[in-house]
Amino acid sequence: MGKLEKDKEKKRNELIEEATENAINENKSIQDSLEYLMNGAILTCNKATTDVKVINGQPVGYKTSKKISDRKKTILMVYNNPMDSNGERMATVKDKKIFTNIRPFECNCVIEPNEAEIQEIVDDIEICKSYGICRKLMRLEDDWENAIRDVKYETYTHIDEEGQESEAVGVTMQAMLFCNHGGIITAINSGNYAIERELKDTQMVKEYMWEFFRNAGFSEYAVAGILGNVYAETGGTFNPETMRGTNYYGLFQIGGERKDALVQRGREWAEAMGWPEDEWNEGWKNVQVQCEYVLEEYYFDSQNGWGNNKIMYGGSEFVATKTVFETAKSTTETALAWGAGYERCITNKNAAGVYEGIQGQDVRIEQAQMIYDEFTQNE
């Protein structure tokens, strides 16, 4: 038996033991105690490392602004799959596509790259300095494997990138996904962050949003930048029902066709949750619906998800790229990047295509720092 097969067998036995212990503690059968993964589940890999590596004389995986403990985590995204009766999108064993379902870990790999992989890393060395080399090594070809055998698993609808539907087995907390580079990916939690419609209290919304975007993989600086902008967009209320006339809705003041898409997502969620039909149009007011809409747009919508706008700040030109936002080590940079790149609340472009700044710039920056201080003081 090779090293990888031994690792698989060891992990499989660990997961079986974990499932057995859970069943005993809950006084249930193993089948009834299984917990299934859904959109937003947090994953880790047994070969992920935060150690800095040197590739062809260049250090990689050291520029990130993420906490060390967060760099060995990533998020499972299954936005293509339909909502179930609880308003959740459930993961299936077929949800293993890199970037679409699983973003590479923002760190390095214990297993050394081969010559071809080294060349890939060298060709994109600046990105690898910030994000590590996992993105150049991850190879996910096999489906997820549930470790427990001889049980009847739940099945869910899987929709592939071509829109084709099929029924597939769900993924449980006792499942493994094998990376052909040698790692074994497993879940840390199932992604069960569902909330009901009554979440409107300012502090509760802030806390939910902080946890949501941190779990989605953003650094503390990045999440503070997001929330500093939300403060400005809602006038400090963090009210998810904020409306500017009939044009802009919610925490992020989404307008135009994007607003219509948000409302439609809210309708689907409200219907799935069993709301009366005459209330479906109110579903967009749910905090979870809005956060998931923004996250999906950020990652997958190249037109609406981000704009690399240039603004002036402190007498210098500031380019709001996703890389700047994700790797910045100050709340000033993340507040400016999110405001100019995602919110696009930009003002007065000059002949060179550079904007004067963003609306309410000082408020967004000040609040981002205050929110960062609030949520990190005890960490």
Report the pLDDT value the prediction gives residue 83, as an integer from 0 to 100: 85
Statement to judge: residues 229 and 166 lie in one domain = no
- Determine the pLDDT at residue 379: 55
Same domain, 183 and 215: no
Q: Which two tokens stand for residue 376?
A: 């990190």
Q: Are residues 176 and 206 in the same domain?
A: no
Q: Do residues 241 and 110 share a domain?
A: no
What's the CA gap between 188 and 45, in Å, rounded?
A: 10
Write the single-letter amino acid at 63.
Answer: K
**Residue 348: how many other CB atoms lie within 10 Å:** 10
Q: Where are the beta strands (DSSP E) in 56-98?
A: 58-60, 73-75
User: How much is the pLDDT for 195?
Assistant: 52
State the residue for tokens 């802030």: 206
Q: Who's near 3: CB < 8 A, 6+ residues apart?
A: 182
- pLDDT value at 199 more than 80: no
Q: Which of 111, 138, 117 is nearest to 47 (CA)?
A: 111
Which pLDDT does position 90 carry in this prediction?
Answer: 94
CATH code at position 318: 1.10.530.10
E strand spans, the chain? 42-45, 48-49, 53-55, 58-60, 73-75, 108-109, 145-146, 155-159, 165-169, 175-178, 184-189, 243-244, 248-249, 254-255, 310-313, 316-319, 346-349, 355-358
pLDDT above 90 (res 7): no
Do 265 and 337 lie in a common domain? yes
Q: 219, 64 in Cβ contact below 8 A?
A: yes
| pLDDT tens, residue by residue, 39-65 | 989 999 999 999 999 999 999 988 776
What share of the chain in percent tops pLDDT 70?
Answer: 97
Note whether 56 and 117 are same-domain residues. yes
Q: Tell which wins on pLDDT, 124 or 197.
A: 124
Please, what's the largest Cα pairwise distance for the chain?
Answer: 70
The answer on 146 and 262 residing in a single domain is no
Q: Which two tokens stand for residue 262?
A: 């948000």
Residue 268 lies in a domain: yes
The pLDDT value given to residue 142? 93
Is residue 227 domain-resident? yes
Report which of 374, 276, 368 is spatially closest to residue 328, judged by C-alpha positions.
368
Does 85 fall in a domain? Answer: yes
Is residue 156 located within the same domain as residue 300? Answer: no
| Domain shared by 182 and 216, yes or no | no
Query: What pLDDT score does 372 carry?
Result: 97
Number of domains in the chain: 2
Same domain, 206 and 180: no
pLDDT of residue 71: 86
pLDDT digits (tens, 9 = 90+) for 299-342: 998 788 899 999 999 999 999 999 999 999 999 999 999 999 99
197 falls within a domain: no
Statement: the pTM of the whole predicted model exceeds 0.85: no
Do 351 and 268 sit in the same domain of this protein? Answer: yes
Predicted pLDDT at 62: 80
Is 364 a member of any domain?
yes
Domain boundary, last residue among 149, 164, 189: 189
365 in a structural domain? yes
Residue 266 is part of which domain span? 202-376
